[in-house]
Amino acid sequence: MIAAGIGCRKAISAAQVEAALAAAMQSNSLVDGRLSLIAAPVVKGTEAGLVAAAAARGVPLRLIPQPMLEAANSRTLSRSAHSMAAMNVNSVAEAAALAAAGPNARLLAPRIVVGPVTCALAEGEDSQ
């Protein structure tokens, strides 16, 4: 399964999320049908752009609790001072993707930044 972790500023649009998703999928040579879910921190659960992007792709939006983000932090590849200050993880997108894809998940590549949205893809054996 492939989980797309999303980190974003407030009030992002579905088009902005989609642009980051498309860029991450393309850079990893993945076809759209391989995406299993979109993951984001619980605190982003009311972002209309995230909800709409997941609905448009026909995949669930999995909201990751803070302790799960922090547990995945040691496996992230990128380091963002903003992410650390805001969410206590090196990369929100990478931690969310890893947490959603399960304990043996691996990142396909470091996060991609497209405007106000970051996206990271993780491959796991199963979803939680």
pLDDT tens digits, one per residue of 34-72: 899 999 999 999 999 999 999 999 999 999 999 999 999
Q: All domains of the chain, ordered by start, with CATH?
A: 2-123 (3.30.420.180)
pLDDT digits (tens, 9 = 90+) for 1-31: 999 999 999 999 999 999 999 999 999 998 7
Between the CA atoms of 49, 54, 58 and 60, what dihedral angle is there, to the nearest 10 degrees?
Answer: -140
Would you place residue 127 in the very low, low, confident or very high pLDDT band (cuts 50, 70, 90)? very low
Q: At residue 128, does pLDDT exceed 60?
A: no
Residue 56 has a pLDDT of 96
Percent of the chain with pLDDT over 90: 91
Locate 40 and state its tokens: 């984001």
* Nearest-angstrom CA–CA distance, 98 and 123: 8
Average pLDDT score over residue span 98-105: 96
Beta bridge partners of 120: 5
* Nearest-angstrom CA–CA distance, 121 and 108: 6
Locate 77 and state its tokens: 């590849």
Q: At residue 82, does pLDDT exceed 80?
A: yes
Between 53-57, 79-83, 122-126, the lowest mean confidence (pLDDT) is in 122-126
* Residue whose token pair is 């497209």: 114
Cβ–Cβ contacts within 10 Å for residue 2, how many? 23
Residue 126 has a pLDDT of 59
Which residue in 98, 100, 102, 103 sits closest to 77, CA to CA? 98
